[in-house]
Amino acid sequence: MRNLFAVLGLFVTALTAACGSSSHPKVAPDGGGMSRGAVKGDGAAEVGGRGGATGTGGTMGTGGAAGSDALVATGGVAGSDGPTAQGGTKIIDGPVASGGVEARDAPVGTGGGGARGTGGTTGAGGASGIAAPADNVAEVSVDFGLPNIGYLNGLFATVTVCVPGTGQCQTIDHVLVDTGSSGLRLLGSVLTLSLPAWTDDSGVALAQCTEFVSSFTWGPLRGADLKIAGEQASNIAIQVIDESTYPVPSDCTGTSTDTAETLRSNGIIGVGSLAQDCGTACAQPLGTRSANPGLYYACSSTKKGGCQATAVPVSKQVSHPVMLFSEDNNGTIIELPTVPANGATSVTGALVFGIGTRDNNGLGQATVLPLDNAGTFLTKYPANGNSSMAFVDTGSNAIYFLDSRTTQIPACTGMYSFLYCPSSTQSLSATNQDANGLVTITVNFSIANAKTLFTRVADVVFGNLGGPSVTPSSPGTGMGAYFDWGLPFYFGRNVFTSIEGQSTPVGTELFVAF
């Protein structure tokens, strides 16, 4: 059973036409997670999505040196560094400074050194700076997003796509970087290239319905060369989000997000932990007992009903683009600076390709947290409380976790009811661990009042935005309580994500590390 938790940023309502207008970007509660693998047929759950996450606007550590990022945040003095707990448990963030400002990026604690503690628990690792320009480093930004549309907490990159094997290329900006999915998806309304159809083994054109909890993207698969930074993946399958080529099938249901106004980006580049967007489940024959979720369609006609769900071999599926690079193809690193407690208008960071393949992408003293086959781990909240299924995801605009009854943090009222609105900023702690409990990492984080944050109308980047994982307007995902460590989790640290089946310095196991 394999699931893909692509909690994409589809949740910012329309902005007024000018950035300087009096209204702040608004967020809507539900867009839904993409399902992967055996979602419809075998009881696996889909994940409700949240908006695209934001990078934070603090400054890098001096010189980018490991463990040198504990900076003074706006409005307060940086707190003390997070110590290394006995047994090597890693404290990721320094505690909240006086005045309620969170001090990020605790340096390596004394004696921790990143070494494995007793029973396999890892020691303190320390954070790193942002990579200098290189041919395996793509600049990413968290900013306003598309003009006159806007995005709250959206992480964006620029990609170049080409007709395979030619110099006919197009560069596309504001493509959402999503560590919760795999594959490249671009709006057909943005593409000016004529890309060749991607076909099954019989030569029939393929299309895909990417379903979310309450929305979907639909469109044909095309072949393309992808270039980003100095890396290239040749002749890969991408989804062109477009309803004009083939009519939407009747079993592709939900709210369409096939335009710039609804997707709020020019596309999505999925750089998560899974090799394909579906995997072996979508290669199985369809039928009443099949685990095939029916994401792929063979389109023999442009007429209504001309696309029928079909099995597609793994080699023909939309795949992780980084895995298809000729080098630096075993994983990625998202590197983002810290953000002031009251938010920022924009920040820039780096998307680094490869893990341990060059001088600029080594694991260093980062703590490796093994994942299960679905790319998930466990989070205990409070740090000694009950465990919930968890995942990291730059495509989520907040840290979504549990509910107000469990956290004792009040939800906002009105249109922001899917976010938390504590009376004062809350300093919280949770413990991330692998399924076997051998590696544990304590993460300190903070949750501010969303409505208070949004009073600064120019700011679209927040490092302390959170909300319940099941909200009144999204009344159930079938998952129970879960932890969605959205983009705020990425601020002030470097987060490594390995790709399944690819060899890294620690083997072929799936992991995140930070």
Q: Residue 128 is encoded by which pair of tokens?
A: 């790193």
Pairing of strands 511-513, 494-498: antiparallel
pLDDT at 391: 96
Once rounded to an integer, what is the mean pLDDT over residues 20-45?
34
pLDDT in tens, 56-101: 333 333 333 333 333 223 333 333 333 333 333 333 333 223 233 3
CA 144/CA 21 separation, integer angstroms: 13
Q: Are 160 and 226 in contact (CB under 8 A)?
A: yes
Could you count the other beta carbons within 10 Å of the beta carbon of residue 109? Answer: 22
CA 330/CA 320 separation, integer angstroms: 10
Residue for token pair 């029928």: 308
Q: Residue 59 is encoded by which pair of tokens?
A: 């400054």
pLDDT in tens, 103-139: 333 333 333 333 333 333 333 334 558 999 999 999 9
- Lowest average pLDDT, out of 3-12, 263-272, 326-335, goes to 3-12
DSSP, res 53:
P
pLDDT at 467: 96
CA 185/CA 299 separation, integer angstroms: 18
Q: Which structural domains are found in the chain, ordered by start? A: 6-52+132-324 (2.40.70.10)
Residue 475 has pLDDT above 80, yes or no: no
pLDDT at 365: 92
pLDDT at 297: 97
pLDDT in tens, 132-186: 999 999 999 999 999 999 999 999 999 999 999 999 999 999 999 999 999 999 9
Q: Residue 300 is encoded by which pair of tokens?
A: 């023999």
- Phi, psi of 450, rounded to the nearest 5 degrees: -60, -40
What is the DSSP secondary-structure string of 377-422? EEEEETTTTEEEEEEE-TT-SSEEES-HHHH--PBPPGGGTTSB--
* Position 227, amino acid: K
Q: Are 319 and 185 in contact (CB under 8 A)?
A: no
Sign of the Cα torsion 56, 58, 64, 68 reads negative
